[in-house]
Amino acid sequence: MTDYTPTPADRFTFGLWTVGNVGRDPFGEPTRRPMSAPYITQKLAELGAYGVNLHDNDLVPLGAGAPERDRLVDDFRQALSDHGLVVPMATTNLFSDPAFKDGAFTSADARVRAYALQKTMLSMDLGHELGAELYVFWGGREGSEVDASGKLLDSLGWLRDSLNFLAEYSQSQGYGYRFALEPKPNEPRGDIFFPTAGSMLGFIPTLDQPELFGVNPEFAHDTMAGLNFTHAVAQLIDAGKLFHIDLNDQKPGRFDQDLRFGAENIKAAFFLVKLLEDSKYGGPKQFDAHALRTEDENGVWAFARGCMRTYLMFKEKARQFDQDGEIQAALSAYRVTDPALEALSRGFSPERAAALKAQSFDRAALGARGPGLEHLDQLTVELLLGVR
């Protein structure tokens, strides 16, 4: 039997805010006690995680003075060293403070935009101090409920200016960050700017240093809007812009649930893992999720362990998929090759265009052919259900 015990080589990470989630929701108070960053680090190391990520205020509360800040950072750094974990990614909380209620980098108030830059620079300092090499921007408040403000085009410019500024700050400090922009369609705003991976890919080339910027997609964000997350990830891989990824699960059409990875959408999670493994994605795999509000602390660690084990189970299923003779035969039958036509179709020339225009195709036969996708999909289901 395959061992699904995770190790640091699997590069699984969690945020302090994920396993540290206390179970609060808009209708209820916390159901769990807070846990310290050093304690979370110890427990994740015991489970086989690779790293732990953080927002600035996950570690240092707003309003903390310099002595408290230094003590918290030193204690966390010592825990990382003691337990062999790293901090691959850091980010800024630009969404909790009421100051950001109408946006941070896209606020119509220049004072808020300046404060957001200040807060982010300090957070980048913290991330670098802890060894982070990647910096994520999730614009949870960069959006609107109404568009009467007329600030849409201005907002794009303000966000662009802010990201350009912060990229230059990173370089001036010698931090060497790469930046990942995280899309989400809605919640907590009615509409969030840059809701999809594709919209981020369109925005990145407008930045001064687009090579420094990629995307951090999240499974739940696409799924809650009814989109196909695996398709978005494939587009990012193709563009060379998959800098980081957030794994979780979600029921379509619900609020942002951040469920345990693989808890709901079994086929989608399987094909996502297969895509990541086939493409040789080597970055951190962050589980940006949290235990159900019903759970106590034991349930939190069962949740974290389950996320990692499920990924490894899907990884094993992907290997079986590639080695299953009937599945591979169905795939071979699905893909019809024609070297001569493919040669004509790849790379334009007037001669190839003329040859293609002169080609005779049996349109009726093309339309009548069944590609066998029902059979292939059923084989996939049988594989996932363990009967193959």
DSSP for 218-232 reads: BHHHHHHTT--HHHH
Averaged over successive runs of 10 residues, the pLDDT of the chain (388 residues) comes to 89 98 96 98 98 98 96 98 98 98 98 98 98 98 95 97 98 98 96 97 98 98 97 98 98 96 98 98 98 98 98 98 98 97 96 97 97 98 97
Q: What is the pLDDT of residue 3?
A: 87
| Other Cβ atoms closer than 10 A to 299 | 17
**pLDDT of the residue at 26:** 92
User: Model-level pTM?
Assistant: 0.96
Sheet holding 89-91, edge to edge: 213-215, 178-182, 134-138, 89-91, 51-55, 12-15, 285-287, 245-247
Q: Which of 56, 58, 222, 258 is catalytic?
A: 58
Transcribe 293-351 into DSSP letters: TT--HHHHHHHHHHHHHHHHHHHHHHHHHHH-HHHHHHHHHHS---HHHHHHHSS--HH
Contact 80, 130 (CB under 8 A): yes
Give me the CATH code for the 8-318 domain, please: 3.20.20.150
Catalytic residue among 3, 10, 55, 338: 55
Delimit the domains of the chain by residue range: 8-318, 325-384
The CA-atom distances, in angstroms, between 311 and each of 12, 41, 210 are 9, 21, 31
Active-site residue flag, 58:
yes
Let me know: does 250 contact 265? Beta carbons within 8 Å.
yes
Residue 19: its pLDDT value, please?
Answer: 98
